[in-house]
Chain A
Amino acid sequence: MSAPAQQRIIFQHIDEPGYTNDIECYLRNGGYEVLKKSVGRKPEELIDEVKKSGLRGRGGAGFPCGVKWGLVDRKSGKPIYLIVNADESEPGTFKDRYIMHQDPHQLIEGTIISCFANNVKQAYIYIRGEMPEGARILEKAIAEARAKNFVGPNILGTGYSCEIYVHRGAGAYICGEETGLIESLEGKRANPRIKPPYFPAVLGLYQCPTIVNNVETLCQVKYICDVGGEAYAKIGTPGNTGTRIFCVSGHVQRPGYYEFPAGTITMGQLLNDVCGGPLPGRTFKAVIPGGSSAKVLKFGERYKGKRKVGADMVDYDWGVEDVPMDFDSLAMIGSMGGSGGVIVMDDTVNMVEALANINAFYSHESCGQCTPCREGSLWMKKISSRMVNGDARPQDGALLKSVADQIPGRTICAFGEACSWPTQSFTIKFKDEFDAYSEVKKTLPADRTVLV
């Protein structure tokens, strides 16, 4: 069965010839019309639309956006803040870059609508430090929107005022975690906070109620406020509504970003039909479906179980190619949809080396606050590095797995899980490769693609 057609909602204009990121182009294409419509409605109605839409956050965790908004403490008397999480830094994920670079006003419109719905007077866009150009584009776009009275005091004469500021990070992955991001925005090290009691919706930025939403999520909100929550909920599949952007990288013929109704496309359709299949003469070996922290899937493996279809429970027996690319299906087979970053590896890849590359990333990025994560991530990096360097010790494969098993659930934030999942899944699914390196001092072939 060939792949379904793309349905570009968020990426509607991205890569369109002649489409620029200035406000005049955005206005010519119907820009800010949804904002005009939305500020004439009651904020509660907009929140209801988002709840009805079933929108799940697009930052990685897939938490329902309407529920998140519903948790905000609106009675504290303190100001409510909204932070746009534009610190996209999960290896394999790159969708937000294109939204900010090519269609920044879409994000600004979505942000202002969300601010209006939640009575937010001040919003911050926390953008990755590695995206200086994106920060400049956003600052210019905000200035343009301010000049047209879409941002700033008394927006469109409604009496509602809201400011947006761009705040640049400085190269730390952990700033993408919402409480780490808040600490960073407060001018500190981005050490995540313990939840509970510090749920951002109650005690966030400056100990005030705070909403943290991903770039794509806020763009989806704009679309929901345009078409209505019920109409939006019809896109995709129940529990996985709306469209999903997949960013595909690695060993496929056409890497890039693709937008489909959630749950309508399988991994096989995405990789073979949309991305053109493996490189000439190669076969797929493994795929990481939702950013580098997601558990790796092995081609040739079968995933069996029961799943709910309508009111019935039905058996499923999937190969990697058969898995629908939605949050729930990927979770059922032991991985996750995460932020939609699909990394593909073909038969040329040495999995011990690939894991060593990933472990180097996570050990570099651990904030260092919790001992299991700080020590564990570095230990996993050291073991996997020495394995590929030909200095493996007996049982190193087993040790690697054992270290990874000690981390999840023992740290303040989910980084502990993120850094251990690759090691856990690689060592289980490619056990033979890890055992081969553990038992003999094996060195990598000279003609390989170097990963570490």
Chain B
Amino acid sequence: MNLKPETFQRIDEVITHYPVKRSATLPLLHLIQEDAGHISDEAITWIATKLELQPINVLEVVTFYPMFRRAPIGRRHIKVCRTLSCALSGGFKTCETFEKEFSTHRGEISPDGEVTVEFVECLASCGTAPVVLIDETLHTKVDATKAKQLSDQIKAEAAARK
């Protein structure tokens, strides 16, 4: 497995949190996904060996939990809450704005590789609806105007990187 040394270090540490190794399945999947971007077949086999499990034990977990990905996504991950409170406040328009700004469709990588826009189920911040999680940062009251501003910011950051 090609991972950063600190990821390996954190993996070894997190396993000690549990009396039964299998419990570390979710934490290991998170750590590997954060480092590698998605969960490959190699990662599944590697985790199984590390936790003394069968690969199917890991694969069944990967396919059950929506946050684990089997394929790469764009550089930035835009998750728009789809659930009722956010929808009542205009969440669908928010999502459409992101799709339009990056010329992409939900669930696909944008043509410039910059973002993947997705609908997700409740982000547990219904009082500040509509909400959007960009990578690991929650943005609140994201109406269409704010979605446009956030898109501009992402585009500016991408341009600065190039």
Interface residues in chain A, defined as those with a beta carbon under 8 Å from any beta carbon in chain B: 88-94, 96-97, 122, 128-133, 165, 167-173, 184-190, 206, 247-251, 255-257, 292, 341, 343, 345, 349, 354, 357-358, 360-361, 364-365, 367, 449-452
Given contacts A345-B88, A450-B93, contact A89 B27 (CB under 8 A): no
Cross-chain contact B92 with A172 (CB below 8 angstroms): no
CB contacts (< 8 Å) of A249 on chain B: these are 85, 88, 126-127, 129
Cross-chain contact A354 with B121 (CB below 8 angstroms): no
Cross-chain contact A360 with B124 (CB below 8 angstroms): no
Cross-chain contact A92 with B85 (CB below 8 angstroms): yes
Give a binary string over B1-32; 1 marks a CB under 8 Å from any A CB, 0 the rest: 00000000000000001111011111101100
Cross-chain contact B27 with A168 (CB below 8 angstroms): yes
Cross-chain contact A169 with B124 (CB below 8 angstroms): no
Given contacts A365-B121, A449-B90, contact A167 B27 (CB under 8 A): yes
Cross-chain contact A170 with B65 (CB below 8 angstroms): yes
Q: Which among B53, B68, B120, B124 has the highest number of chain A CB atoms within 10 Å?
A: B124
Smallest Cβ-Cβ distance to B14: which chain A residue:
A165
Cross-chain contact B66 with A172 (CB below 8 angstroms): yes
CB contacts (< 8 Å) of B23 on chain A: these are 167, 185-187
Question: Would you list 14 pairs from A and B whose C-beta atoms are within 8 A, ordered by A residue?
Answer: A90-B122, A91-B85, A91-B126, A92-B84, A129-B65, A130-B79, A130-B120, A170-B29, A170-B30, A170-B68, A343-B84, A358-B84, A450-B87, A450-B93
Smallest Cβ-Cβ distance to B65: which chain A residue:
A170
CB contacts (< 8 Å) of B122 on chain A: these are 89-91, 130, 173, 361
Complex: A88 Cα to B126 Cα, angstroms: 12
CB contacts (< 8 Å) of B64 on chain A: these are 172, 189-190, 367
Specify which of B19, B24, B89, B124 is in contact with A94 (CB 8 Å cutoff).
Answer: B124
CB contacts (< 8 Å) of A190 on chain B: these are 64
Complex: A280 Cα to B40 Cα, angstroms: 52
Give, as a whole number of angstroms, the nearest-CB distance from B50 to chain A: 12
Give, as a whole number of angstroms, the nearest-CB distance from A214 to chain B: 13
CB contacts (< 8 Å) of B124 on chain A: these are 88-89, 93-94, 96-97, 128, 130-131
CB contacts (< 8 Å) of A88 on chain B: these are 124
Give, as a whole number of angstroms, the nearest-CB distance from B145 to chain A: 16
Smallest Cβ-Cβ distance to A255: which chain B residue:
B127
Residues of B in contact, count (CB < 8 Å): 47
Specify which of A90, A257, A361, A449 is in contact with B127 (CB 8 Å cutoff).
Answer: A257
Give, as a whole number of angstroms, the nearest-CB distance from B123 to chain A: 5
Q: Which among B66, B121, B125, B128 has the highest number of chain A CB atoms within 10 Å?
A: B121
Give, as a whole number of angstroms, the nearest-CB distance from B127 to chain A: 5
Complex: A256 Cα to B84 Cα, angstroms: 15
Given contacts A91-B122, A167-B26, A187-B23, contact A247 B127 (CB under 8 A): yes
Give, as a whole number of angstroms, the nearest-CB distance from B4 to chain A: 18
Q: Is B83 an interface residue (CB 8 A)?
A: yes
CB contacts (< 8 Å) of B133 on chain A: these are 130
Total CB contacts across the A-B interface at under 8 A: 151
CB contacts (< 8 Å) of B79 on chain A: these are 130
CB contacts (< 8 Å) of A173 on chain B: these are 121-122
Query: From residue 106 to 162 of chain B, which have CB atoms closer than 8 A to chain A?
Result: 120-129, 133, 136-138
Q: Which among B29, B66, B83 has the highest number of chain A CB atoms within 10 Å?
A: B83
Q: Is B36 an interface residue (CB 8 A)?
A: no
Complex: A338 Cα to B93 Cα, angstroms: 30
Give, as a whole number of angstroms, the nearest-CB distance from A341 to chain B: 7
Cross-chain contact B26 with A187 (CB below 8 angstroms): yes
Complex: A128 Cα to B120 Cα, angstroms: 13
Query: From residue 50 to 68 of chain B, which have CB atoms closer than 8 A to chain A?
Result: 51, 53, 57, 60-61, 64-68
Give, as a whole number of angstroms, the nearest-CB distance from B146 to chain A: 17
Cross-chain contact B66 with A361 (CB below 8 angstroms): no
Given contacts A89-B122, A133-B137, contact A450 B127 (CB under 8 A): no
Cross-chain contact A132 with B136 (CB below 8 angstroms): yes
Contacts A91-B121, A249-B85, A450-B93 supplied; 14 other A-B pairs, CB < 8 Å: A89-B124, A92-B85, A129-B67, A130-B133, A133-B136, A133-B138, A167-B27, A168-B30, A170-B29, A170-B65, A170-B68, A188-B57, A250-B88, A361-B121
Complex: A365 Cα to B92 Cα, angstroms: 20
Complex: A418 Cα to B29 Cα, angstroms: 29
Cross-chain contact A171 with B88 (CB below 8 angstroms): no
Specify which of B24, B82, B126, B138 is in contact with A343 (CB 8 Å cutoff).
Answer: B126
Cross-chain contact B137 with A256 (CB below 8 angstroms): no
Specify which of B20, B27, B123 is in contact with A130 (CB 8 Å cutoff).
Answer: B123
CB contacts (< 8 Å) of A122 on chain B: these are 19
CB contacts (< 8 Å) of B24 on chain A: these are 187
Smallest Cβ-Cβ distance to B137: which chain A residue:
A133
Give a binary string over B65-107; 1 marks a CB under 8 Å from any A CB, 0 the rest: 1111000000000010011110111101100000000000000
CB contacts (< 8 Å) of A341 on chain B: these are 126
Complex: A213 Cα to B91 Cα, angstroms: 32
Cross-chain contact A206 with B19 (CB below 8 angstroms): yes
Smallest Cβ-Cβ distance to A257: which chain B residue:
B127
Smallest Cβ-Cβ distance to B66: which chain A residue:
A171
Smallest Cβ-Cβ distance to A362: which chain B residue:
B121
Cross-chain contact A94 with B126 (CB below 8 angstroms): yes
